[in-house]
């Protein structure tokens, strides 16, 4: 088996992974850092982020306001020490990106321009038109090219973490072009593998977002935190699930029901005004807006199309000039995928699975409880997003905590002696597992697409916007049976060269594990908070649940759920008030 090594291994070439790699190269120039990614880094899903990235920059804003918006937006489940570090380091990270060439939109005098965003009380969202993630990712990737210390394994698919003597010491990965299974050892590993939206049928997430890193960490014994918190974004295009950015509303767009009525006014989100008002109406937080949609639907006030219920997002009154300047991608996407021009027509939208608040449990430096293993970005849960992430905090998070994890992992790696010999045997076992389970397996009758579709249905029914005990319980049992049926999977493709059916199978197995943690964490949290709404427990219950859930892998399949307290520094739990 081909064995290679480096000092710090970053899994994932999205925003978090690339920022982490640069942090290693800058703080410890003597260390060898490698980025391994199942797609070329610039294909990572950070590329699709549209609206912007939040950081305090204007004189009228303050770090405390950003922290408060984040904490109240997260329904008090954020760790406040993490939030304080986040808002403090955000401006410098964003400026660094500016210095690296990110084409941020500007004021007339050349200063950075900012736009309002949902749940934020002051304008603080930096943007590069409505292709912020695209520019951010390409800027970061192109910047990594100037560091010779950063090595890359492009199109390598990680299948396992190597753990020896109680610490993580590398990974096993398939080189896609040849099918070779390789072991890459390292003194520290940082998981930056992104989210897991593809567990659900209707999502803004790309095909590569399958919770790989979450499952890898979970299988290696690290807990997944707050997995019950799944964000629905209120405005996805029916059928494709393509996102219409929140910026469309922050620039002044309206949400209208079938009667042309701005229905959010009926749900304690303020009164309609022609111009957008911070933390009010269409600029309320995403969890609340998605919940309002369901209530409108129950009242029979939504529209019905071939792909289910929807409402209208109206940006016509913004005018062609503003739309082309600040929302060109919205127009491009609508024209291309819905065949309508938002300058003249209303956009059909409905809530869509968008973001995972939960993830691999880390401390404020990105360290997981497993020695040598770090995590950052959407795969991780630090946690600054609590029960509901505010739009535009995630792109900033991947920079701030990508950098933090990079620095911490480098410092740790510099102290380590090298890989233990037992790892080679582990890697050989993994190679054998892949061959026997998938490539040389005879018999088996299940297809990936069938199992995936069933998982989708289970998750949508049980872990959607509203949840209940009975449905979640049933879902847990059904997922378990799916996992058993997965053992009976059969692949059409037995080749070694770029076998995407093999990777799809491995991704499905990751998703099934992560789905289990979502359902079990949701089942145990008998309260409603942020994006987790239990119709059988409609109130927030700070007595019992001002706590993070931790899902551990247990011996026989189902996860074991434990809790740890939320860190409160200066903002005691309060009522979430919007529209006033």
Ligand X SMILES: Cc1cc2nc3c(=O)[nH]c(=O)nc-3n(C[C@H](O)[C@H](O)[C@H](O)COP(=O)(O)OP(=O)(O)OC[C@H]3O[C@@H](n4cnc5c(N)ncnc54)[C@H](O)[C@@H]3O)c2cc1C
417 binds another protein (CB under 8 A): no
Site string for another protein, 374-413 (x = CB under 8 A): ----------------------------------------
233 catalytic? Reply is yes
d(CA 330, CA 353): 18
Alpha-carbon distances, residue 127 vs 76, 213, 253, 560 (angstroms): 27, 28, 17, 41
User: What ranges make up the beta strands (E) of 258-305?
Assistant: 303-305
Q: Which is nearer to ligand X, 205 or 549 (CB)?
A: 205
Strand partners, 391: none
Among ligand X, another protein, none, partner that 223 touches (CB below 5 to 8 angstroms by kind): none
d(CA 229, CA 421): 40
Backbone phi and psi for residue 158, each to the nearest 5 degrees, phi listed first: -80, 130
Q: Which is nearer to another protein, 206 or 424 (CB)?
A: 206
60 binds another protein (CB under 8 A): no
- Exactly one of 271, 273, 422, 500 binds another protein (CB under 8 A); that residue is 500
Token pair of 423 as six digits: 């790892």
d(CA 401, CA 411): 15
How would you classify residue 372: left for phi > 0, otherwise alpha for psi between -120 and 50, otherwise beta?
left
Token pair of 556 as six digits: 């026989």
Least distance from another protein to the Cβ atom of residue 313, Å: 17
User: What ranges make up the beta strands (E) of 111-268?
Assistant: 114-115, 125-126, 150-154, 156-164, 167-175, 181-185, 188-191, 224-225, 230-236, 254-256
Stretch of residues binding another protein (CB under 8 A), selected from 20-28, 247-255, 368-376, 447-455: 447-455
Q: Which is nearer to ligand X, 209 or 286 (CB)?
A: 209
99 binds another protein (CB under 8 A): yes
- Among 233, 361, 525, 548, the active-site one is 233
Least distance from ligand X to the Cβ atom of residue 47, Å: 7
Residues that bind ligand X (CB under 6 A): 11-17, 36-39, 41, 44-46, 48-53, 132-133, 157-158, 192-195, 204-205, 208-209, 212-213, 243, 245, 354-355, 377-379, 391-395, 398
Token pair of 455 as six digits: 């998982």
Backbone phi and psi for residue 492, each to the nearest 5 degrees, phi listed first: -75, -30
- Asked if 439 and 502 touch (Cβ cutoff 8 Å), the reply is yes
249 catalytic? Reply is yes
Among ligand X, another protein, none, partner that 547 touches (CB below 5 to 8 angstroms by kind): none
Q: Is 413 helix (H, G, I), strand (E, B) or coil?
A: helix
- Exactly one of 4, 27, 68, 112 binds another protein (CB under 8 A); that residue is 112
Among ligand X, another protein, none, partner that 61 touches (CB below 5 to 8 angstroms by kind): none
Residues with Cβ within 8 Å of residue 545, at least 6 apart in sequence: 525, 526, 527, 529
441 binds another protein (CB under 8 A): no
- Among 43, 45, 249, 389, the active-site one is 249
311, containing H or E segment: strand 308-314
Please measure the distance between the N-terminal and C-terminal CA atoms of the chain and give it in whole angstroms: 63
Among ligand X, another protein, none, partner that 193 touches (CB below 5 to 8 angstroms by kind): ligand X
Among ligand X, another protein, none, partner that 368 touches (CB below 5 to 8 angstroms by kind): none
- Exactly one of 32, 115, 124, 138 binds another protein (CB under 8 A); that residue is 138
Stretch of residues binding another protein (CB under 8 A), selected from 206-214, 436-444, 480-488, 509-517: 206-214
Stretch of residues binding another protein (CB under 8 A), selected from 40-48, 257-265, 310-318, 381-389: 40-48
Question: Which residue in 156, 150, 113 sits closest to 132, CA to CA?
Answer: 113
d(CA 70, CA 120): 8
Spacing of C-alpha 303 from chain mean position:
29
Q: What is the size of the binding site for another protein (CB under 8 A)?
A: 59
Site string for another protein, 330-349 (x = CB under 8 A): --xx--xx------------
d(CA 291, CA 533): 9
Residues with Cβ within 8 Å of residue 97, at least 6 apart in sequence: 136, 139, 140, 399
- Asked if 303 and 323 touch (Cβ cutoff 8 Å), the reply is no
485 binds another protein (CB under 8 A): no
Pairing mode of beta strands 308-314, 254-256: antiparallel
Q: Which is nearer to another protein, 237 or 515 (CB)?
A: 237
Token pair of 515 as six digits: 């789905």
d(CA 265, CA 271): 5
d(CA 215, CA 203): 19
Among ligand X, another protein, none, partner that 52 touches (CB below 5 to 8 angstroms by kind): ligand X
Among ligand X, another protein, none, partner that 16 touches (CB below 5 to 8 angstroms by kind): ligand X
Q: Which is nearer to another protein, 47 or 476 (CB)?
A: 47
Q: Which is nearer to another protein, 135 or 225 (CB)?
A: 135
Least distance from another protein to the Cβ atom of residue 336, Å: 6
Q: Interface residues with another protein (CB under 8 A)?
A: 39-40, 42-45, 47-48, 92-93, 95-96, 98-101, 103-112, 131, 134-135, 138, 142-143, 145-146, 154, 177, 206-208, 239-240, 242, 332-333, 336-337, 447-449, 491-493, 495-501
By annotation, the residues acting in catalysis are 233, 249
């Amino acid at each position: 088996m081909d064995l290679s090594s480096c000092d710090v291994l970053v899994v994932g070439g999205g925003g978090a992974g690339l920022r982490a790699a640069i942090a290693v190269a800058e703080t410890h120039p003597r260390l060898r850092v490698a980025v391994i990614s199942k797609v070329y880094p610039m294909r990572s899903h950070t590329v699709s982020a549209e609206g912007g990235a939040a950081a305090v920059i204007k004189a009228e804003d303050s770090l405390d306001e950003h922290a408060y918006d984040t904490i109240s937006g997260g329904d008090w489940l954020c760790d406040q020490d993490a939030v304080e570090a986040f808002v403090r380091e955000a401006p410098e990270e964003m400026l660094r990106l500016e210095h690296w060439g990110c084409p941020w939109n500007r004021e007339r005098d050349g200063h950075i321009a900012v736009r309002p965003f949902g749940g934020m009380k002051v304008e603080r969202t930096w943007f590069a038109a409505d292709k912020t993630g695209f520019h951010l990712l390409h800027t970061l990737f192109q910047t990594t090219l100037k560091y010779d210390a950063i090595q890359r394994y492009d199109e390598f698919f990680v299948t396992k973490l190597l753990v020896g003597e109680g610490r993580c010491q590398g990974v096993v990965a398939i080189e896609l072009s040849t099918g070779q299974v390789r072991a890459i050892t390292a003194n520290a590993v940082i998981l930056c593998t992104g989210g897991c939206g593809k567990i659900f049928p209707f999502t803004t997430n790309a095909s590569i977002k399958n919770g790989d890193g979450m499952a890898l960490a979970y299988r290696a014994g690290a807990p997944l935190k707050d997995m019950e918190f799944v964000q629905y974004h209120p405005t996805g295009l029916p059928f494709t699930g393509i996102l219409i950015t929140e910026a469309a509303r922050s620039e002044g767009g309206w949400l209208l029901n079938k009667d042309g009525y701005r229905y959010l006014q009926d749900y304690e989100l303020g009164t309609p005004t022609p111009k957008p008002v911070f933390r009010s109406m269409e600029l309320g937080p995403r969890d609340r807006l998605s919940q309002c949609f369901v209530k409108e639907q129950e009242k029979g006030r939504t529209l019905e199309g071939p792909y289910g219920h929807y409402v209208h997002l109206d940006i016509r009154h913004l005018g062609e000039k503003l739309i082309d300047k600040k929302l060109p991608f919205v127009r491009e996407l609508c024209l291309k995928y819905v065949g309508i021009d938002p300058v003249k027509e209303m956009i059909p939208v409905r809530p869509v699975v968008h973001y995972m608040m939960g993830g691999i449990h880390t401390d404020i430096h990105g360290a997981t409880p497993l020695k040598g293993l770090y995590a950052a970005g959407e795969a991780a849960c630090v946690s600054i997003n609590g029960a509901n992430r505010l739009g535009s905090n995630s792109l900033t998070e991947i920079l701030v905590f990508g950098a933090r994890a990079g620095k911490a992992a480098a410092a740790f790696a510099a102290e380590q002696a090298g890989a233990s010999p037992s790892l080679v045997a582990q890697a050989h076992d993994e190679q054998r597992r892949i061959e026997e389970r998938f490539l040389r397996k005879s018999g088996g009758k299940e297809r990936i697409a069938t199992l995936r579709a069933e998982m989708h249905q289970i998750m949508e029914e049980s872990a959607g916007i509203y949840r209940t005990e009975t449905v979640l319980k049933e879902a847990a049992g059904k997922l378990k049976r799916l996992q058993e049926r997965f053992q009976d999977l059969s692949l059409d493709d037995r080749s070694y060269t770029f076998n995407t059916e093999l990777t799809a199978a491995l991704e499905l197995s990751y998703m099934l594990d992560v789905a289990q943690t979502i359902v079990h964490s949701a089942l145990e949290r008998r309260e409603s908070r942020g994006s987790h709404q239990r119709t059988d427990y409609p109130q927030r219950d700070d007595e019992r649940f001002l706590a993070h859930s931790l899902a551990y892998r247990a011996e026989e399949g189902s996860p074991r759920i434990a809790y740890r307290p939320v860190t409160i520094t200066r903002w005691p739990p309060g009522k979430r008030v919007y529209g006033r």
